[in-house]
Amino acid sequence: MSFSRETDHGTPPAITTGKSVTLTIDGQSVTLPEGTSIMRAASLTGGSIPKLCATDSVESFGSCRLCLVEVEGRNGYPASCTTPVAEGMVVRTQTDRLKQLRRGVMELYISDHPLDCLTCAANGDCELQDQAGAVGLRDVRYGYDGATNMGQAKDQSNPYFDFDPSKCIVCSRCVRACEEVQGTFALTIENKGFESKVSPSQGEDFLGSECVSCGACVQACPTASLIEKKVVETGTPDRAIVTTCAYCGVGCTFRAEMRGEELVRMVPWKEGKANRGHSCVKGRFAWGYAQHQDRILNPMIRASVSEPWREVSWEEAIAYTASEFRRIQATYGTRSIGGITSSRCTNEETFLVQKLIRQGFGNNNVDTCARVCHSPTGYGLKTTFGTSAGTQDFDSVMQSDVILVIGANPTDGHPVFASRMKRRLREGAKLIVMDPRRTDLVKSPHVEAEHHLPLRPGTNVAMLTAFAHVIVTEKLYDETFIRERCDWDEFMDWADFVSEPARSPEAIEPLTGVRADDVRAAARLYATGGNAAIYYGLGVTEHSQGSSTVMAIANLAMATGNIGREGVGVNPLRGQNNVQGACDMGSFPHEFSGYRHVSDDATRALFEREWGVTLDAEPGLRIPNMLDAATDGTFKGLFVQGEDILQSDPNTHHVAAGLAAMECVVVQDLFLNETANYAHIFLPGSTFLEKDGTFTNAERRIQRVRKVMAPLNGHADWEIVQLVANAMGLNWTYSHPSEIMDEIAALTPTFAGVHYDRLEAEGSLQWPANAAAPDGTPTMHIDGFVRGKGKFVVTDYVPTDEKTGPRFPLLLTTGRILSHYNVGAQTRRTANTAWHPEDRLEIHPSDAENRGLKDGDWVTLRSRAGETTLRASITERVAPGVVYTTFHHPETQANVITTDYSDWATNCPEYKVTAVQVMASNGPSDWQQDYASQARRSRRIAPLEAAE
């Protein structure tokens, strides 16, 4: 699309009352919802009232006095942004007196503003400049040398944007955006009158302040006071394309604003239904990895991982890939090879990888990263509700009265959704946090949890069963809902189980470490506080009882009737941008797309007719099984698209052993990641900016990804998979991802109504979208569960086999941080490292004192599986006996520590519970140094003349 700003109506839409009023604006009769501002009314009818302090992303403020209007029958000149429309109102927006008043106001602004428009980075993209023209300002009687703010030093501390106080007009838009949109409250107005100025965290620079660099302030600024460094360097954009972020599962949509072929900035799209015009530091700013010097752009091969890489043509790399896979299957059998799909790639690309494996390899040896994150969500929700996905859209949280967050850290992992949740909490919703760590949600500006239950890692099921005990024994359950929507006999069996005294809050207090009174109060609040919603993350699923915990959560929602309407539900916060879509597309070894088992004859026949082959009815190998089979000598070849299993999967030594035992490992990725240390073929991938397709976010929302620039490697990822497939003897003829989606829709009932023309017209669709739900499904299970009757499942607490003891007295749990994403392959190649240059170990002061540790000391972190070394951060965020670290930096190799214990149903690893010891260290261990040397060797690329 050509470049133009999104229309700014000045004030947000009115909160609908269902009533409308009719008024006249500049002689035009209009009918609008009650509560609409005059400013918005004028804009919606094609008019334009000058404004500076007003923008439709924040509430009206009425400070700039530029938007004055005349209202017949009223004295004075009211501000149109703060004056609601009324029945019969007659408004004039353009009169001689109004023009005079507006020019007078604008004169005052310009008299205290630098007039360097021709050299200003915002020239042509500045609202102050535009509004000066709109009011017809031609001269300033007060001169142009206002000295109040002139000459103030720029704050260039933030790696992504500058703050120039001399260009600030103190409109407060940035302050209000930080408060209302982001909810961080990091900005304020210092001083009064002409001395007023914006200040981050009371006089700190932006980098050192509480600012989280979400960009809301930059987006709100009407001048060049807050402006992206890239705009300063490159110039203002000249075209824009709407696409979808490739970071977390929120699925924010952005306008990728370009200047020629160069990306200038990513601006959150106001029409985006997942993000509603907001963003975080990753999506807004951390896209520079797409053109990072580390990116590999040419295919490479090598016969052995001890040899340097050799750059080759695409033709040679694809032919070699196919020949190696055919050789291995001829030698070791059909099931000796498999693949891993990517949760970072599009639905279409993921679908093609599993199709390649099933149609081309002839087996079901396909898995995805959801194995190590949300596979228990799929199992647990399908068992209880009948479908493997969350029940609500993100907007639903604004109707919640009680919010239970368990095992999730939304402010770091899903920050844009967290901002919406915090807004609802500021409006009065009550919050319960179940987490071993004191996350920011527990207490932050204007938000404080009613209950923080810092349970001991590994005791989720015991805690949720104690919740159920309170609800059942105090008869707080919704009997009408249960009798109508669930199996009553199963409910009674479950109720008898949870009612036993051994499952009371008092009985489980020694297990969880949480006071029984707090548990009872939180359970009562959840059951009786109104609309209650549960949001959970990897702190639920990455346990040996992950599936049991998901089912325990579902039991609570059904027991209290908190399912099937807005403001309630069970909502997994998915980690990667398309982990929901990867699961939907059939990336598990036992399921086709749409979660249908491979043993189902009718489903398999449907795919066989479309693909023209006989498909295997036997489930294939999961990732852990592939690695086990490799060390046993029966699994020899692996195609890995966009995943770094050596860094992300548990027990790094075992993963490395499995990869080393294979004869052909193919990695398709942007960078030579840790898994590529063991690869024989590297196929350079493409970024989300270089491809077309769709992502499906955590709320089941299918959104378009649009190509912003040509692939630097020459091919989009779907094209690379098609090249491999055809080299394997298949006859794929896709010319565009829309054709792949048409095939997905034809084969997948929940996607039957999804087509690119609909996505272009409507922006997004939430599956199921089919004949039964032609407009998609924002809220699931409204009239009944997908499986029919909701199923209560008895979830007995079974302690993990991972035990603390004298040698390993502490429990390690892991998580993410705001500035980084997953294994950090992308964010570590951006300026986000300014906030988090290394993984650190959080340890409680008492545990640190017992070990003689000070903040910043090097420590050895040791478990039964291995050890690593990193710096310590002493903090009361964690309880005594618990330590915590992130896993974003390969130098740390946090998963060297984690064990092979996994969820009983899905093999999801138990990342969140590892018994460890912490002791002082002098620096990185010998193992880490050897590993770094090996990684450097594996990244060697032969000189071009040698390659020739």
**DSSP letter for each residue of 2-23:** B--PPP--SSPPPPP-S-EEEE
For every residue of 256-279, DSSP letters joined together read EEEETTEEEEEEE-TT-TTTTT--
776-794 pLDDT, tens digit per residue, is 999 999 999 999 999 999 9
Residue 191's φ and ψ, nearest 5 degrees, are 70, -170
Q: Residue 766: enclosing H or E segment and its boundaries?
A: strand 764-766
Residues 6+ apart with CB under 8 A from 193: none
- Position 939 scores a pLDDT of 53
Residues 6+ apart with CB under 8 A from 262: 234
Q: What is the mean pLDDT of residues 108-120?
A: 85
The candidate with the shortest Cα–Cα distance to 461, out of 922, 903, 8, is 903
Residues 6+ apart with CB under 8 A from 407: 434, 435, 460, 536, 537, 538, 539, 540, 541, 549, 912
Work out the angle between the directed axes of helices 546-559 and 460-473 (0-180°, nearest 10).
Answer: 20
35-59 pLDDT, tens digit per residue, is 999 999 999 999 999 999 999 999 9
List 242's β-bridge partners, or say none.
255
Does pTM surpass 0.85? yes
Residue 18's φ and ψ, nearest 5 degrees, are 85, -5
Does the pLDDT value for residue 944 go beyond 50?
Answer: no
Residue 91's φ and ψ, nearest 5 degrees, are -120, 135
Mean per-residue pLDDT over the chain, rounded: 92
Strands (E), 369-499: 402-406, 430-434, 443-444, 447-448, 451-453
Q: Which of 27-31, 359-363, 646-650, 681-685 has the lowest mean pLDDT?
A: 646-650
Give the CB-side neighbour count of residue 316, counting CA atoms within 13 A.
13
Question: CA–CA separation, 239 vs 309, rounded Å?
Answer: 39
pLDDT > 90 in the chain, percent = 80
The candidate with the shortest Cα–Cα distance to 572, out of 354, 384, 347, 341, is 384
Q: What is the mean pLDDT of residues 531-535?
A: 98
**∠721-723-729 over CA atoms, to 5°?**
105
- Position 947 scores a pLDDT of 31
Question: Cα dihedral sign for 509, 511, 512, 513?
Answer: positive
Does the pLDDT value for residue 256 go beyond 90?
Answer: yes
290-322 pLDDT, tens digit per residue, is 999 999 999 999 999 999 999 999 999 999 999
Q: Which of 12-21, 219-228, 439-448, 512-521 has the lowest mean pLDDT?
A: 12-21
The pairing of strands 430-434 and 451-453 is parallel
Does the pLDDT value for residue 941 go beyond 70?
Answer: no
932: pLDDT confidence band, cut at 50, 70 and 90? low
Does the pLDDT value for residue 575 go beyond 90?
Answer: no
Question: CA–CA separation, 875 vs 872, rounded Å?
Answer: 9
For residues 340 and 928, which has the higher predicted lDDT (pLDDT)?
340
3-state secondary structure of 409: coil
